[in-house]
Amino acid sequence: MSETAALNMQDIPQRQLPEHLELQRTRVFCKADAPVHTEDVEYSGAYAAIGFDNSLQVDDFRRDFRVEVKNLSMDVIEFDMIGIDASLANAFRRILIAEVPTMAIEKVLIVNNTSVMADEILSHRLGLLPIEADPRLFDFLSENDTPNERNTIVFKMEVHCKKSGPRLTVKSDQLKWLPNGSELLMESPNPSTKPRRFTSFSRSQASSGRPIGMKHRDIIITQLGPGQSIELEAHAVKGTGKVHAKWSPVGTTWYRMLPEVKLLKEVKGNDAEKLVKKCPVKVFDLEDVGHAMKKAVVSKPRDCTLCRECIGDGGEENIALRRVRDHFIFTVESTGALPPEVLFTEAVKILEEKCERVISELS
């Protein structure tokens, strides 16, 4: 982009920013040495002198905001969120990681563990296993609550490796769901009273909805040598990723701004071929312009990974790498408790709830 001196600027039409300012407002410039204009201009009156209104209007937002799902599979969704501020997109990301609740094993009651793995580490590994259970059907278990069918899922694991057999790999499918709650009896100081169980389920969880289990059945938990055995009960409760990463519903979730690759000059012939070859993700393509001449065109800007190969060594004169400031390519990788698209709506709900809380606090 050529920069013009202020005095030489042409008369500009009102209510519109000059080209370079408009670019600065809407794009992040990924220069070879550092990105510039990464921060957007938030103040509504920033361009008031030119007569440009920088404020955000709800109607405009409603009109311009779009979501385009690009890719959806069992666990991963990739969609474009267009016409939104980075702070909002980031809020969704943050809520997805830390505040959307899931179920995860929190308490492990070990009856017997003769494996080489220490109890604490075994429990830690169990805690990280994703559980296929809709967290919306459960309540949070607070400190004074008794564990019941509304807030606790109980699993049981009993594995034994035969004395004369080979080593046994314990996988997550060894965890068996106990819809009727804990089977272990609490040790009571007074032997005369009837011993209590660790949970008090009033009805079976099996009656309501889908059966609960591990999301993946092939996660290796530990290995047992001949003669070793593990017997335990694992209690899963609802929680959020803020407390521990095991409750995070996503492996990770992130966004990137839409890449924009612009050829500032025409790149022809040998240079074009070089350019095409340079890019490891094939952003550029060749186009015939006749006379056996070829010119480079930008074919897949979305694939740009910002390796900056094309703008090194003076390439910056020919090519500009930019990011569109209000266009987010959002990816959610679910761990499996909920489908990724549901997770996102959950995140939206949480944000909504928070806003309502703020409004009610203020009024």
Partner 1 sequence: MGYREKHSVETHNNHAKPIKSAVDKFALLPEFLKVRGLVKQHIDSFNYFINNDIKKIMKTNDRIVCPQDPSLYLRYTKISIGKPLEYVEHATEELNPQLCRLSDRTYASPIKVDIEYTRPNQTNKEYKKDLVIGRMPIMLRSSKCVLSGKDEAELAKLGECPLDPGGYFIIKGNEKVILIQEQLSKNRIIIDTDSKGRVNASVTSSTHETKTKTVFFMDKDKIYLQLNQFSKPISIMIIMKAMGMENDQEVVQMLGRDPKYGFLLFPSMQECRSEKIITQKQALEYLQGKLANLSSLRFEINKDDRVKKILINVFLAHVPQAKDGNFRPKCIYTAVMLRRMMDAVLNVETFDDKDYVGNKRLELSGQLVALLFEDLFKTMNSQVASRMEKAYDKASRSTPLDFIHYMRSDTITNGLERAISTGNWDLKRFKMNRKGVSQVLSRLAFIATLGYMTRVSPQFEKTRKVSGPRALQPSQWGMLCPCDTPEGEGCGLTKNLALMTHVTTDEEEGPLIKWCRKLGVVDVEDLSGEELHAPDSFLVMLNGLILGKHTKPQKFANAMRKLRRKSVIGEFVSIFVHERQRCVYVASDGGRVCRPLVIADKGVSRIKEYHMKELRDGVRSFDDFVREGLIEYLDVNEENNALIALYEHEIHKDGHDEDNADGQKSFITHIEIEPFTILGVVAGLIPYPHHNQSPRNTYQCAMGKQAMGNIAYNQLSRADTLLYLLVYPQRPLLTTRTIELVGYDKLGAGQNATVAVMSYSGYDIEDAIVMNKSSLDRGFGRCIALKKQIVVKETYSNETSDRIVRPQNEPRKQALDADGIAAPGQIVRRHDILVNKQSPRNKRDRITNPMALKDCDYAPSNVSYKGPEGETTVVDRVMLYSDKDNKMCVKFIIRHVRRPEIGDKFSSRHGQKGVIGTIVQQEDFPFSERGICPDLIMNPHGFPSRMTIGKMIELLGSKAAVLSGRFHYGSAFGEPSGHADKVEDISRTLVEHGFNYSGKDLLYSGISGKPLQAYIFMGPIYYQKLKHMVLDKMHARASGPRMTLTRQPTEGRARDGGLRLGEMERDCLIAYGASMLIYERLMLSSDPYQVQVCSQCGLLGYYNHKLKTSWCSMCKSGDNMSSLKLPYACKLLFQELQSMNVVPRLKLTEY
Q: What is the CA radius of gyration of the chain?
A: 29
Query: What sign does the CA torsion over 339, 341, 346, 347 have?
Result: positive
DSSP string, 131-176: EE--GGGS----TTPPP-TTTEEEEEEEEE--TTS--EEEEGGG-E
Nearer to partner 1, 38 or 200 (CB): 38
Least Å distance between CB 33 and partner 1? 8
Locate the DSSP E strands across the chain: 27-30, 35-36, 66-72, 76-82, 102-113, 131-132, 152-160, 168-171, 176-178, 213-214, 220-224, 229-239, 250-263, 284-290, 293-298, 319-334
305 part of the interface to partner 1, by CB under 8 A: yes
Of 38, 57, 73, 200, the residue at the interface with partner 1 (CB under 8 A) is 38
* Residue in 17, 30, 170, 175 binding partner 1, rule: CB under 8 A: 30
Stretch that binds partner 1, among 157-165, 248-256, 263-271, 336-344 (CB under 8 A): 248-256
Of 33 and 59, CB closest to partner 1 = 33
Q: Does 257 bind partner 1 (CB under 8 A)?
A: yes
Cβ proximity to partner 1: between 127 and 181 the closer is 127
Size of residue set near partner 1 by CB under 8 A: 51
Range in contact with partner 1 (rule: CB under 8 A) among 18-26, 52-60, 121-129, 168-176: 121-129
Residue closer to partner 1 (CB basis): 78 or 271 = 78
- Taking alpha carbons only, the member of 111, 258, 81 closest to residue 183 is 111
244 sits near partner 1 (criterion: CB under 8 A) = yes
Q: Binding segment for partner 1 among 3-11, 58-66, 173-181, 241-249 (CB under 8 A)?
A: 241-249
Q: Does 87 bind partner 1 (CB under 8 A)?
A: yes
Give pairs for 281-286: CB < 8 Å, separation 24+: 281/305, 281/307, 283/310, 284/310
**39 forms part of the interface with partner 1 (CB under 8 A):** yes
Cβ contacts of residue 228 below 8 Å, gap of 6+? 114, 115, 116, 160, 161
Please report whether residue 167 would count as binding partner 1 according to CB under 8 A: no
Question: For 313, left (φ over 0), alpha (ψ -120 to 50), or beta?
Answer: left
Residues that bind partner 1 (CB under 8 A): 28, 30, 33-36, 38-40, 86-87, 89-91, 93-94, 97-98, 110, 113, 116, 118-121, 124, 128, 189, 241-242, 244-246, 248, 252-257, 280-281, 305-309, 312, 323, 331, 333
